Amino acid sequence: MKKILFCLVIFFIPFVISAQSVSPEVISSSGDYFEGVNGSLSWTLGEIATETYTAGNIILTQGFQQPITVAISGIDLVVFLEGPYEGAEMTTDLNLAGEIPFAQPYSGSPWNYAGTESVGSIPNADIVDWVLVELRDATSAANATGAKRIAQQAGFLLKDGSVVGIDGLSNLQFSTSFSSGLYLIVWHRNHLGVLSATALNGSGGLYSYDFSTSLAQAHGGGAGYKLVGTSVYGMAGGDEDGDGDIDATDKAAWTVNAGSEGGYQSADFNMDNQVNNPDKNDTWVENTTLSDQVPD
C-alpha cells in the first residue's frame, strides 16, 4: 500500500491591527515622599487599593500619587511697607502717637475678615501697624485664587519687617495644612497686597518667606511691587480704599482729609500721623500705574 505524504505549506502574512491606546496605570503597596529646597520626589510600589477616605481633618490615602497633606504650625515672614520705610527700617509714628487700634482693622470691606484678634495694649514699641496674612494652597502663584484660601490671620508688623502674633514677639501660628503648594499673601489697609511668587519652603511645620530681597519675590514683580530702599523691596503705598488699584479714587480720599492730623487714617500713606502733601507726592503720585497682582 502506498503512502502519500501531503505537505502543507502555511504562509504567514504580516498584518497590522489598529486599536485604542491605553495610558499606563500603576497599582502599588508601598511609597514615600521627600521634599527639598528645590523640588520633591514621590514614589509608590505594588499598591493593592486605590481609595482615599476622609473624616474631618483626617485623611487615609492609598492610591497612586494621592494628595499628601502637610501640616503648618508657624510662618516666619519678612515684608516692608513703602510708606513708613525710612533708612534701614520702618518708622513707628502711629504707635508712638497711640493711634494703632487694639483690635484688628480688617473686618470691613474689601477684606471682610471675621477674626477676633485684639490686645489690651500694643505689646511692642517696634510695632508699625496691623497686617492681614492669608495662606493659599495651590499648584502655582497664578493658580492661587481666592478659592484656594485655607487660612487667614491678623498680626503685627515690626519695624524690621518681621510679622508677629498678637503677643508682639512670636511667629504667626496656624492650625491648618496644605496638599499642593503653600502660597502667602500680605494685605495692608493702604498698601497693595502682595503674593509670594513661589511656594514657601519649610520643615517641621515652620515655613518662611522674605519678600524684601527682590522684585522676583512678589508674584507679578514690578507691576504691583517696588524698590523702597537700597536693595530693599516692599509693598507699594497709596491704595487708600484697599481695592487693589492706586487711582484717582485714592487721591480723592486724600484730598478730603488733607491737612488733618492724628487718627488712624488710610489716606496717611506714609503713616506719620498726618495727611499732607508728602503722602500724595512721595507715595500716591509714584504708584498710580501699579495694582496688586493677587489672583481673584
Residue 3 lies in a domain: no
Confidence (pLDDT) at 244: 98
DSSP-derived letter for residue 73 is: E
Q: Residues 46, 122: one domain? A: no
Residue 292 lies in a domain: no
Q: Residues 33, 108: one domain? A: no
The SS3 call for residue 83 is coil
Q: What pLDDT band is residue 158 in, cutting at 50, 70 and 90? A: very high
Q: Residues 205, 250: one domain? A: yes
Confidence (pLDDT) at 3: 46
Residue pLDDT, tens place only, 61-73? 555 555 568 999 9
**pLDDT (average), residues 275-285:** 97
pLDDT over threshold 80, residue 256: yes
- Asked if 184 and 195 touch (Cβ cutoff 8 Å), the reply is yes
Identify the weakest region by mean pLDDT among 7-11, 71-75, 226-230, 240-244: 7-11
The closest alpha carbon to 62, from 77, 78, 51, 73, belongs to 51
Residue 18 lies in a domain: no
Given 12, 44, 61, which residue is the final one in a domain?
A: 61
Q: Residues 193, 279: one domain? A: yes
Q: Residues 100, 194: one domain? A: yes
CB < 8 Å & 24+ apart, contacts of 261-268: 262/97, 262/99, 263/99, 264/94, 264/99, 264/100, 264/101, 264/105, 266/189, 266/190, 266/240, 266/241, 266/242, 267/190, 267/240, 268/83, 268/190
Residue 263 belongs to domain spanning = 70-287
Residue 295 lies in a domain: no
The SS3 call for residue 221 is helix
Residue pLDDT, tens place only, 10-32? 333 343 334 443 334 445 556 66
Q: Residues 98, 188: one domain? A: yes
Confidence (pLDDT) at 254: 98
Residue 8 lies in a domain: no
Q: Residues 199, 257: one domain? A: yes
Question: Domain total for the chain?
Answer: 2
C-alpha cell at 287: 504708584
Confidence (pLDDT) at 101: 98
Residue 224 lies in a domain: yes
pLDDT over threshold 70, residue 91: yes
- Asked if 275 and 258 touch (Cβ cutoff 8 Å), the reply is yes
Please report, for residues 46, 86, 88, 156, the alpha-carbon distance to residue 287 in angstroms, rounded to integers and kept in the order given.
57, 18, 21, 25
Confidence (pLDDT) at 30: 63
Residue pLDDT, tens place only, 222-237? 999 999 999 999 999 9
Q: Residues 39, 162: one domain? A: no
pLDDT over threshold 90, residue 81: yes
**pLDDT (average), residues 270-290:** 97
Confidence (pLDDT) at 69: 84
Q: Residues 54, 163: one domain? A: no
C-alpha cell at 1: 500500500
Q: Residues 227, 258: one domain? A: yes
Residue 107 lies in a domain: yes
Q: Residues 84, 153: one domain? A: yes
Residue 175 lies in a domain: yes
